[in-house]
Structure 1
């Protein structure tokens, strides 16, 4: 059995390769039941969530990710998401890999956003606004830069000191990065807006989006969480990662419930985009709206990639 810690998973999962692994997985498909989603009471802090996410390719691989999301961890200096991925042989059921789940989750999540942007963002999109300052905010510029010519990065966070620190880090990594104090102005400037927060109230207003902008909503994963308002949906062509967003994403569930959005108005998911069943962006001035909640298929694709690379490094045949 192979065990990959966070550093080893990071080395095996470069973002361009993960994006292409996800593209192939969504195009070709796999079996991925609805994930188990359990609220966990945590005394003195926000309610936590336990997720169990299985997926398999018959006769090849099967796996499951176990994830705990503790929103109160930020106050402890810990990541909100903690998890592990277990990969099994699809022939025998034996455990063949254990992969640190936080790195795998972060990288497949930003890769899914970049995959969507490869169909939905303007080809000349060069300015990215990242809303949030956590783990995903550090990776999101690199992911979008793998598919679009992103050079300028604006960072907005409720904690301006954290936003400034992240901007300095990104500047050191080659981006023209700066902290944004004025969120409406930053949204209005951006070609791509990626929101990676655990907000329960809309942060991004549709009225602020410029023609041709692409809005990428990543952080919310329950019906009670929202990162954008109803106007963003009214002005945009709406896309989702998987049908799971219809039940789990507050940015989709609430507008469906109130009648702001009708199910038939959702243009496509990532499977349809990767299979060419929908063209994605159709006009330069079109505003596109992408909501992801994460999918077990993404985890399986990333785990397979990490495992196969680890096996290749030791010159052992893969099952």
Structure 2
């Protein structure tokens, strides 16, 4: 039996942000309508290596898509010349269970996570949002900003990073794909003076204080994706309308995981899941003065809808290699 193999260059040739946003929004909708099977992601923690390995399975009933992503997070990989995040996605036939495609999931993970931020901003940010503040300028920051540029008229981007050279590289790369002004800031609080704030750091102590954030700001909190991680002052969460991607997953590995475990917030402080808003079950932003927070942990349904889109395009365009598996 042959299986289609798609390497990173294949996936890159088939992925673009507008179609990824469309697919991910559909995935959130199906999640909001409870039409998916998606166990919480499982973790293997490698404490002595400062890393972890995660498995993320999902079955989407309406689209008849099933599969799993295996992905790591190793923050020290930059020093090794490797990506912090690397992944592999396998899609399986729901009729027989046979693997249909094995593809690189590294770029796919960056793109679908960025797309999730775009979907969140579409439903939760003020429609007149033009200024983006970014805490962290790594690979994930790039796809977050790219997605925002597809759903908002971004005119100014404020950057904070402890390494100025990284900010320079970020501006150089992103200025090729969007026309706006980039401003490098020396303090995080200066970046927080914005319409949409994006945090993409792996920290375990809050970086963004409540008093720095103005009413009406939308925040995409992306960095906290494992137990013990947090980027936002819990006091800020208490001021905000909190929307998570998945309540169970966010409770043990999202931005809310630490304040929940310490009793600083409760489940009642969490408004809803993003899929419920996309599906029209719950309302999006309710006023221009509201602070909204999207707590993104990354869902397997995002991977499956994006991988399925890539797979279908590959079949149509004859891209990839067939390899003998069994």
Question: Which category describes the TM-score, using the shorter chain as reference length?
Answer: over 0.9
Aligned ranges 1:1-319 → 2 under 5 Å: 1-28=3-30, 29-42=35-48, 45=49, 47-58=50-61, 60-173=64-177, 174-188=179-193, 190-243=194-247, 244-249=249-254, 251-314=255-318
Which blocks of at least 5 consecutive residues in structure 2 are unaligned? Answer: 320-326
Q: 1:187 to 1:305 in 2, by over 3 A?
A: same
Distance 1:221 1:99 in 2: 23
Give the number of equivalent residue pairs.
310
Helix, strand or coil at the partner of 2:37 = coil
String of CA shifts for 1:229-275, please: whole Å, max 9, x gaps. Answer: 112112211111112101112x3122223333221121111221111
Q: Alpha-carbon deviation of 1:227?
A: 0.8
1:163, 1:179 within 8 Å by CA — same for their partners in 2? yes
Distance 1:2 1:210 in 2: 49
Q: Alpha-carbon deviation of 1:225?
A: 0.8
Whose RCO is larger (CA < 8 A, sep 6+)? 2
2:60, 2:301 within 8 Å by CA — same for their partners in 1? no
Distance 2:317 2:243 in 1: 38
Using the size of structure 2 for normalisation, the TM-score is: 0.90
> Which shifted more, 115-124 or 178-187?
178-187
